[in-house]
Structure formats: structure tokens, C-alpha cells
Structure 1
Amino acid sequence: MREHILLIHPLGYTADPAKTDIARLANLMPPLGLCSIAAYLERQGYRTAIIDCFAHPDSDAKILDHVQSRQPEWIGLTCTTNGFLDAIRIVRLVKAAAPQTKAVLGGVHISALQEKILAQYPEIDCTVVGEGELPLEQLLAGAAPESIRGLVYRTPEGIRFSGLQGRGIELDTLPFPAYDKLEGYPHAYQLPIFNYPRHPNASALSSRGCPYACSYCDRSVFRRSFKYNSADYVYRHMQYLKERWGIRHINFYDDQFTFHRGRVVELCNRLIAEPLGMTFNCAIRAEHVDPELLALMKRAGCWMASLGIETGDPELLAQHRQNPDLEMLARTIREIHRAGIRVKGLLMLGLPGESEESVRRSMNYVFSLPIDDFNLAKFTPFPGSPIYQKIHELGEFEEDYAKMDCMNFVFVTKGMTRERLDQLFLEFYRRHFTRPRVLLGYVAMLWKSPHSWWRFLRNLTSFLRFARSNKRLDG
């Protein structure tokens, strides 16, 4: 029986380096958006499949075999900026083997660039701007393109965009994501090492969107909207993951897990009254937690909270973030620590206006706080972010999609060089990980997260190779 759509998550770069890429090995998250779309379409009566090239490099042969044996009417690919060119490569690969197969692309990069994608890439039949569930259902049903909100499509007169979607689907009406369509789930997927206490673990979403508009964040899919699952739905989702897949720890990948305080209180009270034996991580903004809520979250099983700091330089922060209050951030970090929850700080280096002095201020700020773990990204101006519109005025920008993954300095602000940014980046990481408090914290992970240590030792060769390459760069 012919399949309606094959959903594909591109790898984003060549397969051989991916097999030993420590960044990929240390953090393998399932394509939650595709899983949600697949579950929704299946409930509507459509046959779907998912191939996740990021989790399984060398998937070209698998894709071609799938297309030839099941003959899907459509392939659908989700695209981040750095994965976009690989998505185009896959579309060309499929169409060379099965020209009748139609291709639809969606995701953050597509939503940001809209009509420009079809104008530049004739092999793409149409794209979806915004959420994928409703437009894809209508597309598979054969609806007229102009009637499908969020669709960019071709006509004899040229490329047309049907207009932005409204609020979209209510999240509680969605079935749980189709995790069963992911090869090797859950063991093929891993949270970052030392970011979980128990295994197997999983990533999940309980909301979509963020109402804030910081300069560096791409908001092209959900714009500034925010919608969320009810506490009951989230509890049942956790219960499903525990009973069906044996999951013991969940990372909620929401932009703003605690934005709606009431539902978090309700969820935590339910987890305390009807414990599932699970722990969880979440991402928060400092404005939306308080000591009482943090104490409740700890009782309910919260193990780690991540929050965006971005930079410890007050003047630089004020240029790029709403409510740029470093004192509030410091107070919140200390409150999280006092609640017994691990703290992960999220920072960027190389923002427009960055200087050596601002990097030093960030180091001093971070090292003055009880931060257990941190992630330092290399600032990348993505097409859907507010800063993108004027980025060429602010410094040197190498707009190479394949490198735009927050692991390369594709943008160099005025007054800095790429070489110096790389040196400061490595110094920041080295100083953090050689602090006695941090080192003792990782020793404690021997009993707090033993599976992380097992993964670290298993991939020790890749870690050492990464360290040696960085040492050469630093020298």
C-alpha cells in the first residue's frame, strides 16, 4: 500500500565526521516536531514514516530504499539553517530516483525565508511556514493550495504565499508524539552528559513559542505567541513515556517551561500526590520563577533548570535582551541553587558589540555564581532573528548555512577577529571546567549520573581528539 508521506530529519553535514562528532554524540535529541506531525497525520488516517539522519548517519541508502519500496506521495523535511543544504541534497537524491515524489519543506529556516526558498530551489514543490500539522493534513487531503494557510506554493503566474496561520492547533488535542516511528528509540537518543541522573531519558515539549523578542532569537515559526499543554496532559505524557518506554528522566525542551505558573504548580502537585518515579529538567526565564515555586518543583522531581544569561556585561546585554537585569539573574541562580536544583547557564560569545572587556566581565560574572554547568554558544545571526536584518552593518558575516550551527564564528563584530574570539571562547570553557567547585561537581556525578560517566569513558577518544584540536587552535 502506497505511503502518504515520508518525514526526514537531515543530518546537516557529511556522515563520516558525524560518527565521531563529540557535539552530536553528547546531545542527540529526537525530532519532536516530526513525531508530533506523524502522530497527528496517522490519527487522521494517513500513513507516515520517519527517517532521522541526525541519529543515524549514512541514511541515504535507507531513504532511497524506502522511497522505491513504499512510494510515498510526498517527502517532508524539517530544516534548521545549518541543515538546510543537506535537506536540498536529499530532495535532489529522491527526485533523481523517483521524479513523481513531491517535496515539502518546513521548519525554522523555511519559516524565516518564506518565498525566497522556492524562488532559489526549483526542486521543492512547496513549503510550510509555521506549525506543520494542519497545513500538511490539508495538503495530503488535496486541498487547493490557496486555501491552506501557511503554504508557499507555485502557480503558473509565480510563487504565492497563502498567508500566516492563526493560533493553529490546540496542543491538548494532539496525540502523544509518534516516538515509535524513530529507529532505536529511546536508546538511540541521549541528553547531554551530566545533564540527567538516570537512564533511559527523553526530550519532550509541553508548550510552543515565547512572548519575548530578544535580538538573537528566531521567532519565525511561532512568532511571539505562547500556548501550552495542560498539567493533566503533561502528566499523562510523562506517564506514557514511563510505561511505554521505561523513561526515567525527561528534559522539557520548551523555551519557557514556567511562563504559566499555575499549570506548573498543578503539574508539580500532581507529581507529588501521584509520583511517577521520574525526574525532569526544564528551561526558564528568571522573571518566571520564585523560591516557593522552585521548592515545589524540587519536590516534584526537578533535577536541573537552565536559564539564559547570554552575557555578563550589562551594557552588551541591554542591547540584545528584554529586561536585561543581571542582578535579578544572579538572585534567581542563587535561589535555584538553594532549592537543591542544578543550575545550567546558557551564554553566547561574539554578540554584536562584544569586546575583550565584555568577555572578561562575562567570565567574572559567571564564576561568581553557583552555576553547575553551562553552555557557551558562538553567536550566530539566524534569518528569523531581529538582528539579522542589519547584521552586515555590525561586522563581518560569512553567511554559510552549513556553518551556522552556533559552533562557528560566522559573524565577527567590529573591533574583534575570528582568531581572538576562538581563543576567548576556549579560555572561557577551560577556566570554567578547571574551577575546583565545578570539578568536585563532576566527581559527584559518579553517583549522581553514573550513566554520563559511562558515556564519557566510552567516547573518550572523541573527547581527547576534540581537546587536542582546540589546544592547537588556542596555541
Structure 2
Amino acid sequence: MFVSVNKLKSFRPVLPIGMVTVATQVRAAGHDVHVLDLMWEEEDEKAVREAVAAFRPDVVGISIRNVDSQNMLEPVIYTPLAREVADWARAERPGVTVVLGGPGFSTVPDDLMDFVGAEYGITGFAEESMVPFLAHLHRGTEPADVPGVIFRVPDGSYHRRDPVFEIDYRKAARPDPELYDPRYFTYSYETHDRSEKVPATIQTKKGCVLECVFCSNFLVDGTGVKFDDVKRVADEVERLRDEGLEVLEIVDGVFNLPLNYAVEVLREFVRRGIEMPWSCMINPGNVTPELVDLMVRTGCYYVEFGTDSCNDRVLRRLKKNFRQRQIISAHRQFEQAGIRVEHCLFIGSPGDDRDSVRETFDVMSGLVPPGAPEAHAYWTLGLRVCRGTALHTTAVEEGLLTGDERFIVPKYYVSRDVIEDSALLDEIQERVLANDNWYLWWGLRTIGLRERIRMARQESERIEAELLAHLPERRPAPLPAALTTRGEEGR
């Protein structure tokens, strides 16, 4: 039995593509499978207990998509529900085996194993590991050789096998749409000026070629890129279209990296006459007229830029592959093509100060002015820190972190030149509120930014104290040596 604990509907609900992909693989291997998605349940305990009592699973796999809100101003932790699901399942079926997985789990596996009290966890590509893992359980043998597996051994430590970030797409079953809760496809969510349906999803590749200092994707998908066959991607899109799904999202971390592969995918769409509304994440540094033309011809209506900053000095510190001029050029190309653009930006990155923040705000004022019908900017104060990233190293070197924190509650990096500049924080608040196409925090009109920072810190400390009470007193195991230099110079 697979259980998705993601209940986040803000912005829009997201299909649990990873969990359903794994469930599809497991079912194809001959196992009886039941999927429970708590997104739509009002009484979680009742839903879990009834499903376990009816299905009587031997194994309950809990999919953790997100550990937290990733918003310093709105500290919300989602993992207590995973702990409750495990408790409810064991209450209904004593002796059931609980296994954790999902991208959120892969970023903080030790802490979540301790917190939930799971027997096993799978990091990395569970669609490659879950079937051999279940084969071990069926035989009654320990799954010590399964890639990505983690479990406790008699001395109290964890046995861990590093994930093998390889996938044979030819053998990987596509997620069966029948395993999704049908309520996804009848639900409408509100955007700034319209009501939209939850899109169907497809992933054309795993991984990324960049080494942004804050990104934890290497823990989820490994380094490098694993490509699906272009024709298989087009086959899947045709199938989704023929089944009546009207809107598509390509959920690659970044669709247009590498550029040549994205162009190949879209050329295949054009060759087959595929045209339907779709969206994706875009890197501003790899936008060409041909790419935009192909996106228009195939129905793209919305792109989300990982813009981060508009100051070249800060972009270099973040190890981005683009600069301000490319952000402006890419935005204008999509704008002229009639494709809606949304920018995601950080405030307080390494190197950020009053001048760089003002420059970023000034550039966004030109690209996303008040009243612009097809452009928006989403600002985030601070960058979430993940152990093993170059940002984690920077935070420790600057004394913002000690290096031995538990990460079940998130830690954030905000440059001192921003967080300690009261006048700048007031200016940020004033400029965000003056633009109806910008968003930083929903309550900013009633609670000032400086006050919200103070409140959020107190809330985070309270949540951390509650959650740490469930964890044993031990320091998390270090990451494998191959991962500790991720994103650092000289790698």
C-alpha cells in the first residue's frame, strides 16, 4: 500500500507522479497494490485506518514529497503526518513493514527514519529499487544490497547503500493514470486572474547539468542527466491527450537544459501534430528563438523562470549559468510570443546587499510592472539550506550554522547585509506591496516584514523543539564523501 502525505493545495495540487510511477512498477512485478492519496481526505486517520483494514498490506510505503513549506516566513512542517500514518497503519495491522521514500525523504533520510520509526527507507530512484527490495522481504532476507536502502542495524546505527542513479527507461513503466485520485482532474484552482485545472504530468529526463550552490537535486536524481527516449516521451503525451487530459506540465527540474534535447522533444511533437496547453520550468540562460517558436507551436502557455537574482555578482556566487541581460532577453522573447512568464527570486542570497537587492527589484519593475496581465514575480526571503551543498558550507563558514544541526526542521541562509538592514527590509515590504503582480508573503499588508521575521523565528524554534523530542540524541551520519563537495569550486 502506497500513501502520499502531500496535502498542499496552495498554488495548486500536484500529481504524485513519483509514487504512482513506483506503484505502477510494483504492480507490474506481480504485487497487489493499493494507492491512498491524502491530498483530498478531510479525515486522514479514518482514511488510513479504513484502507489498511480493507487491504491488509504487508508493506506500507509512505511517499514524502516535501519535508516543509520551504518558506522561512511561513514555517510549516509536513512530516508529522508521515509519523501518524505509520502509527495508524501499525494499529490496524500489527507487524506491517513501513518504508519511506520520495524526494523529501532523500534529502534528510536519517532524521526522518528516526522521527517516523520506519523499518526501511529508499533514497534515490525507487522505481529501480522497490521491486528488488520487495523480493528480499518476500524471501525473508535483508535487503542490504538494494541501491538506496537504509535500515537500522543491531548496534543502533544505520546500514546505508548509496543510490545508483541510473534508470532504463525502456523497462520503466509509465505511471498508470488510473492510480491517481480522480479528484485531481475535476478540481479547479484559482490563479491571479483565472481558474485552471490540475495538469497531467510527464518527465522527460532526470537530473541537471548545473551545480547551483543551494540545490539538493543531486540527492534526489544524482549528478548528470538521464534522458528518456524522445519518441517514448511523445508516445506518452499522445496517450495522455487521447485519454482526454487537457493540460500538460513537463515536470523536469529545468526543461531547456540541455537545450538540444528540449528542441528534439519539441520537434517530435511538431512532427506528430501534438498541440495542447502545457507548461514547464525554464532556465533563462538557454532560450533561443527556435526554442520559443517550437514551444508556441506545440501549445506552451506558461513558463516559470528560476531567475533567483538580477544582479550579476550574486548570480556568479550562486553559480548560475546566466546573467541579467539573458534574463531580460528571455523574458522579452516569451512575452512577445504571448507566453505567460513567472519569475522566482531569492532575497538574501550569498553576496546580496542593499545595492544588489535594489538592482534586482529595479529590473523586475521593468519586466513585471503593476497591472501586467501575463507576468508575475514570486519572491522568497532566504534560501533553504540542505546538508552537503555548497550553501551549507558557506552558512557554516559565516557562522550562521554550526554544521551539526538536525534538518528535520529547515534552516535558512539570509545574508547579514539583508537581514540586519532594517531600512532595506522596510523598503522591500513597500516595493512588494506596491506591485499587484509581486508576491512575498500573504499577510504582509497586516504584519510588517520585520515583525513577521521575528514571529517566524519563534514559530520555527517551537516546532523544532516539539519534533526533536521524538528524535534520539545522536548526530546525523555524514554524507558520502563523493557528495560533500557538490557545488564547490574544483569539483
Q: Which residue of 2 aligns with 1:29?
A: 14
1:35-434 map, 5 Å = 35-79=20-64, 80-82=66-68, 83-118=78-113, 120-121=114-115, 123-142=117-136, 144-187=142-185, 193=191, 199=197, 201-219=199-217, 220-244=219-243, 246-369=244-367, 372-378=375-381, 379-383=383-387, 385-394=389-398, 404=410, 410-417=412-419, 426-433=429-436
Does the residue aligned with 2:335 lie in a helix, a strand or coil?
helix
Distance, in Å, in 1 between the alignment partners of 2:49 and 2:420 is: 40
Q: In 1, are the aligned partners of 2:281 and 2:305 still within 8 Å (CA)?
A: yes
Q: Is the 8 A contact 1:7 1:34 kept in 2?
A: yes
Structure (1 or 2) with the greater helix fraction? 1
CA distance in 1, matches of 2:4, 2:428: 30
In structure 1, the residue corresponding to 2:303 is in which secondary structure? strand
The alpha carbon displacement at 1:431 in A equals: 3.5
Counterpart residue identity of residue 113, structure 1 = V
Q: Using the TM superposition, name which of 212-221 and 222-231 deviates more.
A: 222-231
Contact 2:275 2:297 in 1 (8 A): no
> Cα distance 1:400–1:374, how it changes in 2: closer, same or farther (>3 A)?
farther
Q: CA deviation at 1:57?
A: 4.2
Distance 1:268 1:122 in 2: 43
Is 2:448 the counterpart of 1:474?
Answer: yes
Please list the CA deviations of residues 281-330 of structure 1 after superposition, one character each: whole Å capped at 9, or x if unmatched. 12122333311221122112122222211012222222123335222222
Kept after mapping to 2: 8 A contact 1:35/1:178 = yes
- Which AA in structure 2 matches 1:433? D
TM superposition shift of 1:104: 0.9
Shift of 1:241: 1.7
User: What secondary structure, in the 3-state scheme, does the structure 1 residue paired with 2:52 have?
Assistant: helix
Instruction: Calculate the TM-score normalised by the size of structure 1.
Output: 0.79
Deviation at 1:225, TM superposition (A): 2.4
Distance 1:403 1:148, change over 3 A: closer
| In structure 1, C-alpha distance between the alignment counterparts of 2:31 and 2:82, rounded to whole Å | 23
Which range moved further: 335-344 or 288-297?
335-344
8 Å CA contact 1:190–1:201 kept in 2: the answer is no
| CA distance in 2 between partners of 1:300 and 1:434 (Å) | 27
Evaluate the alpha carbon distance shift between residue 387 and residue 86 of structure 1 in structure 2; reply closer, same or farther with a 3 A threshold.
farther
The 1:199/1:68 distance shift into structure 2, 3 A limit, reads closer
CA–CA distance in structure 1, aligned partners of residues 271 and 116 of structure 2: 56
CA deviations over 1:127-178 (Å, ceiling 9, x no partner): 1121111221112112531221211122324434443233422234322213
User: 1:68 is paired with a residue of what secondary structure?
Assistant: helix
Shift of 1:28: 0.8
For residues 163 and 381 of structure 1, what CA distance do their matches in structure 2 show?
24
Once the two structures are overlaid, the 10-residue window that deviates more, 84-93 or 61-70, is 84-93
Q: CA contact under 8 A between 2:189 and 2:195: conserved in structure 1?
A: no
Secondary structure of 2:328's aligned partner: helix
Aligned with 1:9 (options 4, 26, 30): 4
Task: Give distance in 1, aligned partners of 2:22 and 2:427.
Answer: 41
- The answer to whether the 8 A contact 2:101-2:123 is kept is yes
Aligned 8 A contact 2:166 2:226 in 1: no
> C-alpha offsets along residues 356-384 of structure 1, whole Å, 9 cap, x if unaligned?
43322211011222671232233322345
- Alpha-carbon distance, 1:212 to partner: 1.2
Cα offsets for 1:323-360 (capped at 9, x unmatched): 35222222222223233322221212232443343322
Aligned length: 424
Assess if the C-alpha contact under 8 Å between 1:195 and 1:304 holds in 2: no
Aligned mates of 2:55, 2:343 — CA distance in 1: 45
Aligned partners of 1:130 and 1:165 also within 8 Å: yes
Partners of 1:135 and 1:325 in 2: how far apart? 39
Tell me if the contact between 1:281 and 1:303 (Cα under 8 Å) persists in the aligned partners.
Answer: yes
Distance between the aligned counterparts of 1:172 and 1:72, measured in 2? 29
Residues 185 and 38 of structure 1: is their aligned pair in 2 closer, same or farther, counting only changes over 3 Å? Answer: farther
Change beyond 3 A, Cα 1:282–1:412: closer
Q: Which residue pairs with 1:442 in the alignment? A: none
What SS does the aligned partner of 1:141 have?
Answer: helix
Q: CA deviation at 1:73?
A: 1.0
Task: Write out per-residue CA displacement over residues 59-108 of structure 1, whole angstroms, 9 at most, x where no aligned residue.
Answer: 22111111122111111122222233331232223223333111111233
RMSD: 3.2
Question: Per the alignment, in what secondary structure is the counterpart of residue 433 of structure 1?
Answer: coil
Once residues 209 and 193 of structure 1 are traced to their aligned partners in structure 2, the CA distance between those partners, rounded to angstroms, is 29
- Residue 235 of structure 1 aligns to a residue whose secondary structure is helix
Give yes or no for contact 2:433–2:445 (8 Å, CA) kept in 1: no
Q: Work out whether residues 135 and 149 of structure 1, in 8 Å CA contact, stay in contact via their aligned partners in 2.
A: yes
Contact kept in structure 2, 1:231 and 1:267, CA below 8 Å: yes
- Of 375-384 and 412-421, more deviation after overlay is shown by 412-421
The percentage of counterpart residues that share the same residue type is 18
Partner Cα separation in structure 1 for residue 38 and residue 407 of structure 2: 18
CA contact 2:307–2:345 (8 Å) conserved in 1: yes
TM-score, scaled relative to structure 2: 0.76
Of 260-269 and 247-256, more deviation after overlay is shown by: 260-269
Asked if 1 retains the 8 angstrom alpha-carbon contact of 2:284 and 2:327, the reply is: yes
Cα distance in 2 between the residues matched to 1:383 and 1:179:
35
